[in-house]
Protein backbone atom coordinates (compact mmCIF):
# COMPACT_ATOMS: atom_id res chain seq x y z
CA UNK A 1 0.00 0.00 0.00
CA UNK A 2 1.46 3.34 -1.07
CA UNK A 3 -0.13 5.50 1.61
CA UNK A 4 -1.64 7.83 -0.97
CA UNK A 5 -5.35 8.63 -0.73
CA UNK A 6 -5.42 8.94 -4.51
CA UNK A 7 -3.11 8.31 -7.42
CA UNK A 8 -3.40 9.36 -11.05
CA UNK A 9 -1.12 7.04 -12.97
CA UNK A 10 0.13 6.51 -16.47
CA UNK A 11 -0.87 9.83 -18.02
CA UNK A 12 1.00 12.73 -19.58
CA UNK A 13 1.36 15.52 -17.05
CA UNK A 14 1.05 18.90 -18.72
CA UNK A 15 2.06 22.12 -17.03
CA UNK A 16 2.62 25.61 -18.40
CA UNK A 17 6.27 24.73 -18.84
CA UNK A 18 6.07 21.36 -20.58
CA UNK A 19 4.88 17.77 -20.76
CA UNK A 20 6.21 14.73 -18.88
CA UNK A 21 5.16 11.16 -18.34
CA UNK A 22 4.53 10.47 -14.65
CA UNK A 23 2.22 9.49 -11.84
CA UNK A 24 0.73 11.86 -9.30
CA UNK A 25 0.29 10.86 -5.65
CA UNK A 26 -2.17 12.74 -3.42
CA UNK A 27 -2.53 12.78 0.35
CA UNK A 28 -4.91 14.96 2.37
CA UNK A 29 -5.94 16.93 -0.69
CA UNK A 30 -2.42 17.93 -1.65
CA UNK A 31 -0.02 16.56 -4.28
CA UNK A 32 2.73 14.84 -2.30
CA UNK A 33 4.70 13.01 -4.98
CA UNK A 34 5.23 13.04 -8.72
CA UNK A 35 7.27 10.20 -10.16
CA UNK A 36 7.12 7.31 -12.55
CA UNK A 37 6.06 3.94 -11.17
CA UNK A 38 4.15 5.05 -8.06
CA UNK A 39 2.25 2.32 -6.23
CA UNK A 40 -1.55 2.79 -6.44
CA UNK A 41 -3.29 4.79 -3.74
CA UNK A 42 -6.56 3.93 -1.97
CA UNK A 43 -8.25 5.33 -5.06
CA UNK A 44 -6.40 4.89 -8.33
CA UNK A 45 -7.14 6.57 -11.65
CA UNK A 46 -5.81 5.03 -14.82
CA UNK A 47 -4.76 8.00 -16.97
CA UNK A 48 -3.15 6.00 -19.79
CA UNK A 49 -3.62 7.91 -23.05
CA UNK A 50 -4.93 10.91 -21.14
CA UNK A 51 -3.55 14.33 -20.24
CA UNK A 52 -3.16 15.23 -16.57
CA UNK A 53 -3.77 18.97 -16.28
CA UNK A 54 -4.03 21.44 -13.42
CA UNK A 55 -7.71 22.06 -12.75
CA UNK A 56 -8.91 25.12 -14.60
CA UNK A 57 -9.29 28.53 -12.98
CA UNK A 58 -11.95 30.81 -14.38
CA UNK A 59 -10.79 34.27 -13.40
CA UNK A 60 -13.87 36.13 -14.59
CA UNK A 61 -17.36 34.78 -14.06
CA UNK A 62 -20.54 36.15 -12.53
CA UNK A 63 -22.21 33.82 -10.05
CA UNK A 64 -25.34 34.53 -8.05
CA UNK A 65 -24.73 38.18 -8.77
CA UNK A 66 -27.50 40.73 -8.58
CA UNK A 67 -27.40 43.12 -11.54
CA UNK A 68 -27.89 46.85 -11.11
CA UNK A 69 -31.38 46.34 -12.58
CA UNK A 70 -32.20 43.83 -9.85
CA UNK A 71 -31.92 40.72 -12.05
CA UNK A 72 -30.32 37.61 -10.59
CA UNK A 73 -27.99 35.33 -12.57
CA UNK A 74 -29.59 31.99 -13.30
CA UNK A 75 -26.82 30.08 -11.49
CA UNK A 76 -26.17 29.91 -7.80
CA UNK A 77 -22.82 28.83 -6.38
CA UNK A 78 -23.80 25.17 -6.49
CA UNK A 79 -25.12 24.97 -10.04
CA UNK A 80 -22.18 27.07 -11.22
CA UNK A 81 -19.74 24.73 -9.43
CA UNK A 82 -21.30 21.69 -11.08
CA UNK A 83 -21.14 23.27 -14.53
CA UNK A 84 -17.56 24.45 -14.03
CA UNK A 85 -16.44 21.02 -12.82
CA UNK A 86 -17.98 19.25 -15.81
CA UNK A 87 -15.72 21.36 -18.00
CA UNK A 88 -12.52 20.82 -15.97
CA UNK A 89 -12.59 24.03 -13.92
CA UNK A 90 -11.90 23.62 -10.20
CA UNK A 91 -11.53 27.22 -9.03
CA UNK A 92 -13.59 30.29 -9.85
CA UNK A 93 -13.08 33.97 -9.19
CA UNK A 94 -16.52 35.62 -9.39
CA UNK A 95 -17.52 38.99 -7.95
CA UNK A 96 -18.69 40.58 -4.76
CA UNK A 97 -20.60 43.41 -6.39
CA UNK A 98 -21.20 46.65 -4.55
CA UNK A 99 -24.17 48.68 -5.71
CA UNK A 100 -24.21 52.37 -4.96
CA UNK A 101 -24.96 53.21 -1.36
CA UNK A 102 -23.95 49.76 -0.09
CA UNK A 103 -21.21 49.03 2.41
CA UNK A 104 -18.49 47.00 0.70
CA UNK A 105 -17.77 45.02 3.86
CA UNK A 106 -21.44 43.99 4.04
CA UNK A 107 -21.42 43.07 0.35
CA UNK A 108 -18.33 40.90 0.71
CA UNK A 109 -19.80 39.22 3.79
CA UNK A 110 -23.01 38.44 1.91
CA UNK A 111 -21.27 36.93 -1.14
CA UNK A 112 -18.95 34.93 1.10
CA UNK A 113 -21.94 33.51 2.93
CA UNK A 114 -23.56 32.43 -0.35
CA UNK A 115 -20.39 30.71 -1.50
CA UNK A 116 -19.74 29.08 1.89
CA UNK A 117 -23.19 27.57 1.82
CA UNK A 118 -23.28 26.40 -1.80
CA UNK A 119 -19.93 26.37 -3.62
CA UNK A 120 -18.64 22.89 -4.39
CA UNK A 121 -15.33 23.98 -5.90
CA UNK A 122 -12.85 26.51 -4.53
CA UNK A 123 -13.25 30.21 -5.10
CA UNK A 124 -12.20 33.75 -4.31
CA UNK A 125 -13.67 37.10 -5.29
CA UNK A 126 -12.97 40.30 -7.15
CA UNK A 127 -14.59 43.25 -5.39
CA UNK A 128 -16.63 45.50 -7.69
CA UNK A 129 -16.40 49.10 -6.51
CA UNK A 130 -19.19 51.34 -7.80
CA UNK A 131 -19.33 53.85 -4.96
CA UNK A 132 -15.85 54.78 -3.71
CA UNK A 133 -16.86 57.01 -0.83
CA UNK A 134 -14.32 58.26 1.68
CA UNK A 135 -15.39 55.49 4.07
CA UNK A 136 -15.05 52.85 1.37
CA UNK A 137 -11.60 54.07 0.37
CA UNK A 138 -10.14 54.62 3.81
CA UNK A 139 -12.02 52.29 6.15
CA UNK A 140 -13.62 49.45 4.22
CA UNK A 141 -11.20 48.51 1.48
CA UNK A 142 -7.87 48.45 3.38
CA UNK A 143 -8.77 45.59 5.76
CA UNK A 144 -10.31 43.60 2.92
CA UNK A 145 -7.21 44.02 0.79
CA UNK A 146 -5.01 43.00 3.70
CA UNK A 147 -7.27 39.98 4.16
CA UNK A 148 -6.54 38.65 0.67
CA UNK A 149 -9.11 40.36 -1.56
CA UNK A 150 -6.48 41.40 -4.03
CA UNK A 151 -8.45 42.60 -7.05
CA UNK A 152 -10.73 45.61 -7.40
CA UNK A 153 -13.01 45.81 -10.40
CA UNK A 154 -14.05 49.08 -11.96
CA UNK A 155 -16.73 49.48 -14.62
CA UNK A 156 -16.09 52.38 -16.98
CA UNK A 157 -19.56 51.93 -18.45
CA UNK A 158 -23.13 51.04 -17.35
CA UNK A 159 -24.88 54.08 -15.87
CA UNK A 160 -25.54 52.44 -12.51
CA UNK A 161 -22.11 50.86 -12.10
CA UNK A 162 -19.55 53.13 -13.72
CA UNK A 163 -16.93 55.19 -11.97
CA UNK A 164 -15.55 58.38 -13.47
CA UNK A 165 -11.87 59.06 -14.08
CA UNK A 166 -11.43 60.82 -10.75
CA UNK A 167 -12.94 57.88 -8.85
CA UNK A 168 -10.80 55.52 -10.91
CA UNK A 169 -7.68 57.37 -9.78
CA UNK A 170 -8.84 57.27 -6.17
CA UNK A 171 -9.38 53.50 -6.24
CA UNK A 172 -6.09 52.99 -8.07
CA UNK A 173 -4.30 54.86 -5.31
CA UNK A 174 -5.74 52.50 -2.69
CA UNK A 175 -4.82 49.50 -4.84
CA UNK A 176 -1.28 50.80 -5.20
CA UNK A 177 -0.82 51.13 -1.47
CA UNK A 178 -2.03 47.62 -0.68
CA UNK A 179 -0.67 45.70 -3.65
CA UNK A 180 -4.04 45.05 -5.24
CA UNK A 181 -4.66 44.69 -8.95
CA UNK A 182 -7.25 46.83 -10.76
CA UNK A 183 -9.40 44.84 -13.18
CA UNK A 184 -11.71 46.70 -15.49
CA UNK A 185 -14.60 46.56 -17.92
CA UNK A 186 -13.41 49.22 -20.35
CA UNK A 187 -15.93 50.70 -22.77
CA UNK A 188 -16.72 54.39 -23.29
CA UNK A 189 -20.12 54.97 -21.70
CA UNK A 190 -21.02 58.13 -23.59
CA UNK A 191 -20.27 56.66 -27.01
CA UNK A 192 -22.52 53.71 -26.19
CA UNK A 193 -25.20 56.03 -24.84
CA UNK A 194 -25.11 58.21 -27.95
CA UNK A 195 -25.21 55.24 -30.33
CA UNK A 196 -28.00 53.55 -28.36
CA UNK A 197 -30.20 56.63 -28.29
CA UNK A 198 -29.83 57.17 -32.04
CA UNK A 199 -30.56 53.54 -32.86
CA UNK A 200 -33.63 53.33 -30.64
CA UNK A 201 -34.96 56.64 -31.95
CA UNK A 202 -34.65 55.35 -35.50
CA UNK A 203 -36.43 52.12 -34.64
CA UNK A 204 -33.34 49.92 -34.86
CA UNK A 205 -34.08 47.86 -31.80
CA UNK A 206 -33.53 44.20 -32.75
CA UNK A 207 -30.80 42.26 -30.94
CA UNK A 208 -28.36 42.68 -33.84
CA UNK A 209 -28.19 46.40 -33.07
CA UNK A 210 -26.69 45.60 -29.69
CA UNK A 211 -23.34 45.19 -31.47
CA UNK A 212 -23.79 48.48 -33.32
CA UNK A 213 -24.58 50.26 -30.06
CA UNK A 214 -21.23 49.26 -28.57
CA UNK A 215 -18.82 50.70 -31.15
CA UNK A 216 -15.42 49.08 -31.37
CA UNK A 217 -13.86 52.49 -30.83
CA UNK A 218 -15.72 52.77 -27.52
CA UNK A 219 -13.71 49.80 -26.35
CA UNK A 220 -10.40 51.07 -27.73
CA UNK A 221 -10.88 54.50 -26.17
CA UNK A 222 -11.70 53.17 -22.72
CA UNK A 223 -8.89 50.61 -22.80
CA UNK A 224 -6.50 53.40 -23.76
CA UNK A 225 -7.80 55.66 -20.99
CA UNK A 226 -7.69 52.92 -18.35
CA UNK A 227 -4.09 52.20 -19.29
CA UNK A 228 -3.14 55.89 -19.14
CA UNK A 229 -4.77 56.32 -15.73
CA UNK A 230 -2.98 53.22 -14.43
CA UNK A 231 0.28 54.49 -15.87
CA UNK A 232 -0.21 57.84 -14.13
CA UNK A 233 -0.72 56.21 -10.72
CA UNK A 234 1.85 53.51 -11.61
CA UNK A 235 -0.36 50.53 -10.81
CA UNK A 236 -0.76 47.27 -12.69
CA UNK A 237 -4.04 46.80 -14.50
CA UNK A 238 -5.92 43.88 -16.02
CA UNK A 239 -8.17 44.65 -18.98
CA UNK A 240 -11.13 42.29 -18.99
CA UNK A 241 -12.75 40.83 -22.09
CA UNK A 242 -10.81 42.39 -24.96
CA UNK A 243 -12.76 41.85 -28.17
CA UNK A 244 -11.32 44.03 -30.94
CA UNK A 245 -8.08 44.43 -32.87
CA UNK A 246 -7.95 48.10 -31.85
CA UNK A 247 -8.28 47.39 -28.13
CA UNK A 248 -5.72 44.62 -28.38
CA UNK A 249 -3.32 47.03 -30.08
CA UNK A 250 -3.67 49.40 -27.12
CA UNK A 251 -2.76 46.57 -24.78
CA UNK A 252 0.19 45.49 -26.92
CA UNK A 253 1.57 49.01 -27.19
CA UNK A 254 1.47 49.34 -23.43
CA UNK A 255 3.09 45.96 -22.88
CA UNK A 256 5.83 46.77 -25.38
CA UNK A 257 6.50 50.00 -23.47
CA UNK A 258 7.08 47.88 -20.35
CA UNK A 259 3.87 48.84 -18.54
CA UNK A 260 2.26 46.37 -16.18
CA UNK A 261 -0.79 45.86 -18.37
CA UNK A 262 -2.47 42.46 -18.51
CA UNK A 263 -5.45 41.37 -20.55
CA UNK A 264 -7.81 38.53 -21.24
CA UNK A 265 -10.32 37.58 -23.85
CA UNK A 266 -13.25 35.19 -23.46
CA UNK A 267 -14.44 32.00 -25.10
CA UNK A 268 -17.32 33.55 -27.00
CA UNK A 269 -15.02 35.99 -28.80
CA UNK A 270 -13.11 33.03 -30.25
CA UNK A 271 -15.95 31.25 -32.01
CA UNK A 272 -19.02 33.49 -32.26
CA UNK A 273 -19.59 36.72 -34.20
CA UNK A 274 -22.14 39.51 -34.36
CA UNK A 275 -23.95 37.45 -37.02
CA UNK A 276 -25.20 35.31 -34.13
CA UNK A 277 -27.09 38.34 -32.81
CA UNK A 278 -29.16 38.24 -35.98
CA UNK A 279 -30.54 34.74 -35.46
CA UNK A 280 -34.22 34.47 -36.37
CA UNK A 281 -37.12 34.68 -33.95
CA UNK A 282 -35.42 36.97 -31.47
CA UNK A 283 -32.93 34.24 -30.53
CA UNK A 284 -30.20 36.84 -31.00
CA UNK A 285 -31.01 37.87 -27.42
CA UNK A 286 -29.17 34.76 -26.29
CA UNK A 287 -25.97 36.27 -27.70
CA UNK A 288 -26.17 39.75 -26.15
CA UNK A 289 -23.10 40.35 -24.06
CA UNK A 290 -20.85 43.34 -23.56
CA UNK A 291 -18.51 44.07 -25.13
CA UNK A 292 -20.48 42.50 -27.97
CA UNK A 293 -19.52 39.76 -30.37
CA UNK A 294 -17.45 41.20 -33.21
CA UNK A 295 -16.40 39.98 -36.66
CA UNK A 296 -14.23 37.25 -38.19
CA UNK A 297 -11.11 39.42 -38.29
CA UNK A 298 -11.45 40.11 -34.58
CA UNK A 299 -11.89 36.40 -33.92
CA UNK A 300 -8.58 35.75 -35.69
CA UNK A 301 -6.94 38.61 -33.78
CA UNK A 302 -8.09 37.16 -30.44
CA UNK A 303 -6.50 33.82 -31.35
CA UNK A 304 -3.26 35.60 -32.14
CA UNK A 305 -3.38 37.45 -28.83
CA UNK A 306 -3.75 34.15 -27.00
CA UNK A 307 -0.89 32.54 -28.91
CA UNK A 308 1.58 35.43 -28.64
CA UNK A 309 1.13 36.18 -24.93
CA UNK A 310 -0.85 39.42 -25.18
CA UNK A 311 -3.52 37.67 -23.09
CA UNK A 312 -2.62 36.04 -19.79
CA UNK A 313 -5.80 34.04 -19.63
CA UNK A 314 -8.99 32.96 -21.31
CA UNK A 315 -12.02 33.48 -19.10
CA UNK A 316 -15.69 32.71 -19.63
CA UNK A 317 -17.32 35.93 -18.39
CA UNK A 318 -20.09 33.49 -17.47
CA UNK A 319 -23.08 35.77 -16.89
CA UNK A 320 -26.07 33.48 -17.23
CA UNK A 321 -29.60 34.73 -17.83
CA UNK A 322 -32.29 32.24 -18.81
CA UNK A 323 -34.13 32.79 -22.10
CA UNK A 324 -37.41 33.52 -20.31
CA UNK A 325 -39.14 36.16 -18.23
CA UNK A 326 -36.61 35.79 -15.38
CA UNK A 327 -33.72 36.77 -17.65
CA UNK A 328 -33.28 37.65 -21.29
CA UNK A 329 -37.03 38.19 -21.81
CA UNK A 330 -37.76 40.04 -18.57
CA UNK A 331 -39.10 42.97 -20.60
CA UNK A 332 -41.38 40.76 -22.70
CA UNK A 333 -41.09 38.43 -25.67
CA UNK A 334 -39.89 41.08 -28.06
CA UNK A 335 -37.43 43.22 -26.13
CA UNK A 336 -35.35 46.02 -27.61
CA UNK A 337 -31.62 45.31 -27.47
CA UNK A 338 -31.44 47.89 -24.67
CA UNK A 339 -33.76 45.78 -22.49
CA UNK A 340 -31.89 42.50 -22.86
CA UNK A 341 -29.63 41.69 -19.91
CA UNK A 342 -26.02 41.34 -21.02
CA UNK A 343 -24.24 38.05 -20.58
CA UNK A 344 -23.72 34.52 -21.83
CA UNK A 345 -23.29 31.24 -19.96
CA UNK A 346 -19.88 29.65 -20.56
CA UNK A 347 -18.27 28.29 -17.37
CA UNK A 348 -18.49 24.68 -18.49
CA UNK A 349 -17.36 25.02 -22.08
CA UNK A 350 -14.43 27.41 -21.63
CA UNK A 351 -11.75 24.74 -21.48
CA UNK A 352 -13.30 22.30 -23.98
CA UNK A 353 -13.82 25.04 -26.59
CA UNK A 354 -10.26 26.32 -26.17
CA UNK A 355 -8.89 22.79 -26.37
CA UNK A 356 -10.93 21.86 -29.41
CA UNK A 357 -10.51 25.10 -31.35
CA UNK A 358 -7.04 25.94 -30.07
CA UNK A 359 -4.99 22.82 -29.32
CA UNK A 360 -6.64 20.49 -31.82
CA UNK A 361 -6.26 23.02 -34.63
CA UNK A 362 -2.62 23.76 -33.74
CA UNK A 363 -3.28 27.42 -32.87
CA UNK A 364 -1.82 26.90 -29.36
CA UNK A 365 0.18 24.08 -27.82
CA UNK A 366 -0.62 22.13 -24.68
CA UNK A 367 1.53 24.14 -22.23
CA UNK A 368 -0.07 27.32 -23.56
CA UNK A 369 -3.49 25.77 -22.98
CA UNK A 370 -2.56 25.14 -19.36
CA UNK A 371 -1.12 28.61 -18.92
CA UNK A 372 -4.25 30.26 -20.37
CA UNK A 373 -6.78 28.17 -18.49
CA UNK A 374 -5.03 27.86 -15.14
CA UNK A 375 -1.43 28.78 -14.36
CA UNK A 376 -1.37 32.29 -15.81
CA UNK A 377 -4.39 33.40 -13.85
CA UNK A 378 -3.23 31.73 -10.64
CA UNK A 379 -0.03 33.76 -10.85
CA UNK A 380 -1.74 37.05 -11.62
CA UNK A 381 -4.38 36.73 -8.90
CA UNK A 382 -2.07 35.48 -6.15
CA UNK A 383 -3.43 31.92 -6.12
CA UNK A 384 -0.19 30.33 -7.23
CA UNK A 385 1.22 27.79 -6.36
CA UNK A 386 -1.65 26.50 -4.25
CA UNK A 387 -3.72 26.59 -7.44
CA UNK A 388 -2.77 26.40 -11.10
CA UNK A 389 0.05 23.87 -10.88
CA UNK A 390 0.80 20.17 -10.80
CA UNK A 391 3.64 20.14 -8.30
CA UNK A 392 4.41 18.72 -4.90
CA UNK A 393 2.70 20.94 -2.32
CA UNK A 394 0.00 22.26 -4.66
CA UNK A 395 -3.66 21.45 -4.07
CA UNK A 396 -4.65 18.29 -5.90
CA UNK A 397 -6.92 20.10 -8.36
CA UNK A 398 -6.59 18.01 -11.49
CA UNK A 399 -8.42 17.47 -14.76
CA UNK A 400 -7.73 14.10 -16.38
CA UNK A 401 -8.37 15.02 -19.98
CA UNK A 402 -9.36 12.78 -22.86
CA UNK A 403 -7.94 14.58 -25.90
CA UNK A 404 -10.02 12.57 -28.37
CA UNK A 405 -13.49 12.47 -26.80
CA UNK A 406 -15.95 14.18 -29.08
CA UNK A 407 -19.36 15.65 -28.29
CA UNK A 408 -21.74 17.96 -30.08
CA UNK A 409 -23.13 20.63 -27.80
CA UNK A 410 -26.86 20.81 -27.23
CA UNK A 411 -28.85 23.02 -24.88
CA UNK A 412 -29.73 20.13 -22.59
CA UNK A 413 -26.24 18.67 -22.16
CA UNK A 414 -24.69 21.61 -20.31
CA UNK A 415 -25.04 21.60 -16.57
CA UNK A 416 -25.60 25.22 -15.67
CA UNK A 417 -29.03 26.57 -14.92
CA UNK A 418 -29.47 28.78 -17.97
CA UNK A 419 -31.37 26.39 -20.23
CA UNK A 420 -29.40 27.15 -23.37
CA UNK A 421 -25.82 27.30 -24.55
CA UNK A 422 -24.49 29.83 -27.05
CA UNK A 423 -22.25 27.01 -28.31
CA UNK A 424 -25.10 24.65 -29.17
CA UNK A 425 -24.41 22.87 -32.47
CA UNK A 426 -20.61 23.11 -32.11
CA UNK A 427 -18.74 19.81 -32.08
CA UNK A 428 -16.00 19.79 -29.46
CA UNK A 429 -13.09 17.39 -29.29
CA UNK A 430 -11.33 17.02 -25.93
CA UNK A 431 -13.17 16.71 -22.61
CA UNK A 432 -12.27 16.00 -19.01
CA UNK A 433 -12.95 12.41 -18.09
CA UNK A 434 -12.27 12.85 -14.40
CA UNK A 435 -12.02 16.05 -12.35
CA UNK A 436 -10.45 16.25 -8.91
CA UNK A 437 -10.82 19.04 -6.37
CA UNK A 438 -8.38 18.98 -3.44
CA UNK A 439 -8.05 15.23 -3.84
CA UNK A 440 -11.79 14.51 -4.11
CA UNK A 441 -13.08 13.02 -7.34
CA UNK A 442 -15.93 15.38 -8.19
CA UNK A 443 -16.62 14.30 -11.78
CA UNK A 444 -16.04 10.88 -13.29
CA UNK A 445 -17.41 9.75 -16.65
CA UNK A 446 -19.97 12.52 -16.69
CA UNK A 447 -21.28 11.89 -13.16
CA UNK A 448 -20.70 14.26 -10.26
CA UNK A 449 -20.10 13.71 -6.59
CA UNK A 450 -20.33 17.21 -5.25
CA UNK A 451 -21.83 18.61 -2.07
CA UNK A 452 -22.94 22.21 -1.59
CA UNK A 453 -20.52 23.95 0.76
CA UNK A 454 -17.58 21.64 0.07
CA UNK A 455 -15.74 24.37 -1.83
CA UNK A 456 -13.44 26.61 0.17
CA UNK A 457 -12.20 30.12 -0.20
CA UNK A 458 -8.67 29.84 -1.61
CA UNK A 459 -5.66 31.54 -0.07
CA UNK A 460 -4.41 34.54 -1.99
CA UNK A 461 -0.91 35.90 -1.59
CA UNK A 462 0.43 39.12 -3.02
CA UNK A 463 1.10 38.36 -6.66
CA UNK A 464 4.43 39.14 -8.33
CA UNK A 465 2.59 41.56 -10.58
CA UNK A 466 0.96 43.61 -7.82
CA UNK A 467 3.02 44.53 -4.78
CA UNK A 468 2.36 47.34 -2.29
CA UNK A 469 4.02 50.51 -3.54
CA UNK A 470 4.89 53.75 -1.74
CA UNK A 471 2.75 56.83 -1.31
CA UNK A 472 2.78 59.27 -4.20
CA UNK A 473 2.03 62.85 -5.06
CA UNK A 474 1.98 64.66 -8.40
CA UNK A 475 5.50 65.21 -9.73
CA UNK A 476 6.82 68.68 -8.86
CA UNK A 477 9.85 68.60 -11.14
CA UNK A 478 8.75 70.05 -14.48
CA UNK A 479 11.64 68.39 -16.32
CA UNK A 480 10.36 64.91 -15.57
CA UNK A 481 7.52 63.67 -17.66
CA UNK A 482 6.06 60.93 -15.54
CA UNK A 483 3.75 63.01 -13.42
CA UNK A 484 4.02 61.50 -9.96
CA UNK A 485 6.77 61.07 -7.42
CA UNK A 486 7.23 58.80 -4.47
CA UNK A 487 6.85 60.34 -1.04
CA UNK A 488 8.52 57.49 0.82
N1 LIG B 1 -20.96 42.05 -19.63
C2 LIG B 1 -21.64 40.95 -19.86
O3 LIG B 1 -21.87 40.59 -20.98
N4 LIG B 1 -22.09 40.26 -18.79
C5 LIG B 1 -21.81 40.59 -17.46
C6 LIG B 1 -21.33 41.93 -17.25
C7 LIG B 1 -20.73 42.55 -18.42
O8 LIG B 1 -20.06 43.53 -18.29
ZN1 LIG C 1 -17.59 43.23 -18.18
ZN1 LIG D 1 -17.98 40.14 -16.68
CA-nearest residue, atom 1 of ligand 1 = 290
Structural contact between residues 387 and 57, judged by C-beta atoms closer than 8 angstroms? yes
152 C-beta closer than 6 A to ligand 1: no
Name the nearest CA neighbour of 455 among 44, 6, 55: 55
Structural contact between residues 18 and 54, judged by C-beta atoms closer than 8 angstroms? no
- For a ligand 1 pocket test, name from 211, 290, 341 the mutation site with the most ligand atoms within 8 angstroms of its C-beta: 290
The helix-helix angle for 245-256 and 216-233 (nearest 10°) equals: 20
- For a ligand 1 pocket test, name from 64, 94, 126, 319 the mutation site with the most ligand atoms within 8 angstroms of its C-beta: 319
Query: Tens digit of pLDDT per residue, the chain (488 long)?
Result: 689 999 999 999 999 999 999 999 999 999 999 999 999 999 999 999 999 999 999 999 999 999 888 899 999 999 999 999 999 999 999 999 999 999 999 999 999 999 999 999 999 999 999 999 999 999 999 999 999 999 999 999 999 999 999 999 999 999 999 999 999 999 999 999 999 999 999 999 999 999 999 999 999 999 999 999 999 999 999 999 999 999 999 999 999 999 999 999 999 999 999 999 999 988 999 999 999 999 999 999 999 999 999 999 999 999 999 999 999 999 999 999 999 999 999 999 999 999 999 999 999 999 999 999 999 999 999 999 999 999 999 999 999 999 999 999 999 999 999 999 999 999 999 999 999 999 999 999 999 999 999 999 999 988 888 888 877 777 766 655 567 777 76
435 C-beta closer than 6 A to ligand 1: no
The ligand whose atoms approach the alpha carbon of 242 most closely is 2
For the chain, how far is it from start to end, CA to CA, in angstroms?
Answer: 58
Structural contact between residues 454 and 443, judged by C-beta atoms closer than 8 angstroms? no
Q: Cα(45) to centroid of ligand 1, in Å? A: 38
Q: How many helices (H) and strands (E) does the chain have?
A: 14, 21
Measured distance CA(447)–CA(455) in Å, rounded: 18
245 C-beta closer than 6 A to ligand 1: no
69: which residues sit within 8 A by CB, 6+ positions away? 160, 341
Measured distance CA(391)–CA(63) in Å, rounded: 29
Residue 487 has a CB neighbour count (10 Å cut-off) of: 8
185 C-beta closer than 6 A to ligand 1: yes
Q: Atom of ligand 1 at shortest distance to CA of 342?
A: 3
Q: Cα(440) to centroid of ligand 1, in Å? A: 32
Q: Atom of ligand 1 at shortest distance to CA of 155?
A: 8
The backbone torsions φ and ψ at residue 23, rounded to the nearest 5 degrees and listed phi first, read: -110, 150
320 C-beta closer than 6 A to ligand 1: no
188 C-beta closer than 6 A to ligand 1: no
Structural contact between residues 425 and 409, judged by C-beta atoms closer than 8 angstroms? yes
Q: Atom of ligand 1 at shortest distance to CA of 62?
A: 5
Q: Cα(177) to centroid of ligand 3, in Å? A: 25
Burial pattern 212-245, b for ≥16 Cβ within 10 A else e, equals: bbbbbebbbbbbbbbbebbbbbbbbbbbbbbbbb
Give, as one character, the DSSP assignment of residue 73. Answer: P
DSSP assignments along 231-299, one per residue: HHHT--EEE----SHHHHHHHHHHHHTT--EEEEEETHHHH--GGGGG-GGGGGGGG--SSPP--HHHH
Domains defined along the chain, listed by start: 56-384 (3.20.20.140)
Structural contact between residues 347 and 83, judged by C-beta atoms closer than 8 angstroms? yes
Q: Cα(269) to centroid of ligand 2, in Å? A: 13
Measured distance CA(484)–CA(471) in Å, rounded: 10
Which CA distances in Å does 198 have to 47, 209, 213?
57, 11, 9
Task: Write down how long the chain is.
Answer: 488
Q: Atom of ligand 1 at shortest distance to CA of 158?
A: 8
Measured distance CA(209)–CA(195) in Å, rounded: 10
Measured distance CA(195)–CA(215) in Å, rounded: 8
- How do beta strands 440-444 and 447-448 pair? antiparallel
Amino acid sequence: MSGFDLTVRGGTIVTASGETAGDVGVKDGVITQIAEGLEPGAEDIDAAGKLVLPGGIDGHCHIEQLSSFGLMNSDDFFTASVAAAHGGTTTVVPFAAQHRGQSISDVVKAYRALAEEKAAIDYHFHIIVTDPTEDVLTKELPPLLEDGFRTLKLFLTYDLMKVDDYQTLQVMEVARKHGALIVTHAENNEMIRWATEKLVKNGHTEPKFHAVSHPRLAEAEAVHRAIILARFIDVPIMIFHVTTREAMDEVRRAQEAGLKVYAETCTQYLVLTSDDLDRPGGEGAKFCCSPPLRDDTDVEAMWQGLADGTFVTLSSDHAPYAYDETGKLNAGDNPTFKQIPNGLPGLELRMPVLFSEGVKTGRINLPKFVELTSTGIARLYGLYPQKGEIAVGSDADIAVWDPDAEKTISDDMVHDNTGYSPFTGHTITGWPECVISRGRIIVRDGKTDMAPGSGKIAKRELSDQAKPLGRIEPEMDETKNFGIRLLD
